[in-house]
Structure 1
Amino acid sequence: MITLMLAAELTKRPVVTLGGEAVAQVKDTVFDAAGGRITGFTLAGRGLLSGPLKQSLPWSGVHALGPDAVMIPSTEVLQARDAVVDRGEASTGQVHGARVLSDAGLELGTVLDAVVEGGTSGRVVGFRITTTEAMGRHERKAFLPAHGQLAMTGDTLVIPAALAGQAVDDLDALAAAWNRTRAAGETDFTKGDDR
């Protein structure tokens, strides 16, 4: 069974070396929304009064994303902040607050958060949205799986119309749906990409 978590829950998650040293905490999660993956994290120091760090953590430096910590091999994987931020912003729009449209032209809702898979993939597996009447659930919260052909440009996420019918009410149901999707071999966020 996979572990799913909301991207917003990653904020303040400790970044810990495999040697057990807590070196930072997550400030922001940077996405390549079009590719459906985390590209890295901006970091803050540990503690209440600590501010942002000049270093960031690219996804390539992550050993594992766990429910309680982001594990890294050592501090040598940390890079300048711009290495993660510039790379992520080059190909993405803003995920939070993005309008969700079906490829049939229906406005389905607004993205509240991305749902990511724990472990080593960094894969975005779904979105938590506030729905519109087009989904028959006006102004309710739901989870949409993120598989098949999706497109993210600027402030709009375009999804296949069939995904609207796969909306579920909680993370456990999304995890079950994601496991069924993986078993069927449809784990790609965009065609031809299943790392």
Structure 2
Amino acid sequence: MNAFLTRAGDVVGRPVLTLHGDAIAQVKDVIVDPETGSVRAFTLSGRGMLSGPLKEAVPWSAVHALGRDAVMVADRDALREGAGTASDSEGGTNMLGTRVLTQEGEDVGKVTDVVLDVTTEEARLVGYEVRLDRHDEEGTVLIPVSAPVVVSAENVLVPAAALRSTTDDLADFRKAAGGPHEEGADDAEQ
């Protein structure tokens, strides 16, 4: 599988399938470890419009593959009760709606989504989609982060230098962040 970039919000709603092709759930939320930036688990809901949240979740260690169209697991035993829930998240924070500040104290805007870099081994937070609240700028930008940043219930702190590498297009994210990009090897999901 080629590495690709995606927004966590685009993963929400993807079906969770076994390697035998059975649809067993769909992704409700993506749980990211605030210290490492790695995806820890996916909380789940049942399949279909009238299905509610499930008590089970899929820890990253049980994910066979995260693809553009589905999350693949070996079988139904990959679902674990309570994995990735609030009691298991060890201080995880819902970052959506959180204020983004530079480490120098500049208020940038609010997090509307997070950017994940998905490889065969892991999915890692590499940036934030932020709705700008600054007087001189409007709209939404993608801000890269090279390492986990300070996250609290109220704020996400990013280096001021990250603001010089913003883009509004996921396809240009690696280039804006200064990361490697080989034509055809890495694809951003639109």
1:149/1:118 CA distance change after superposition, 3 Å: closer
Judge conservation of contact 1:115–1:127 (CA < 8 Å) in 2: yes
Cα deviation, 1:126-180, whole Å, max 9, x if unaligned, reads 111011327x42x3110001214511122211111100111111101113345x4
- Normalization by structure 1: what TM-score? 0.83
Indicate yes or no: 2:144 matched with 1:169.
no
> Corresponding residue for 1:91?
91
Secondary structure of the residue aligned to 1:165 is: helix
**2:145: which partner in 1?**
146
Q: Distance in 2 between matches of 1:15 and 1:83?
A: 15
Pairing 1:36-185 to 2, within 5 Å after superposition? 36-80=37-81, 82-85=82-85, 86-88=87-89, 90-120=90-120, 121-133=122-134, 136-137=136-137, 139-148=138-147, 150-178=149-177, 180-182=178-180
| One-letter amino acid of the counterpart of residue 94, structure 1 | N
User: Across the two proteins, how many residue pairs are aligned to each other?
Assistant: 178
Counterparts of 2:115 and 2:148, CA distance in 1? 17
Deviations 1:80-111 (A, max 9, x none): 0x2211232x2222210111111111111110
Task: Judge conservation of contact 2:166–2:176 (CA < 8 Å) in 1.
Answer: no
Change (3 A) 1:79 1:57: same
Give structure 1 regions of 4+ aligned residues with deviation exceeding 4 angstroms.
none
Q: Does structure 2 conserve the Cα–Cα contact (< 8 Å) formed by 1:127 and 1:144?
A: yes
**Per the alignment, in what secondary structure is the counterpart of residue 55 of structure 2?**
strand
The one-letter code sitting in structure 2 at the alignment partner of 1:163 is: A
Cα distance between partner residues in 2 of 1:148 and 1:9: 22
Task: Tell me the amino acid that sits aligned with residue 92 of structure 2.
Answer: T
Conservation of the 8 A alpha-carbon contact between 2:115 and 2:127: yes
Structure 2 unaligned segments of length 5 or more: list them. 182-190
- One-letter amino acid of the counterpart of residue 27, structure 1: K
Q: What are the ranges of 5 or more consecutive residues in structure 1 without an aligned counterpart?
A: 184-195
Whether the 8 Å contact between 2:174 and 2:180 is mirrored in structure 1 is no
CA distance in 1, matches of 2:119, 2:16: 14
State the identity %: 36
SS in 1 for 2:179: helix
1 or 2, which has the higher helix percentage? 1
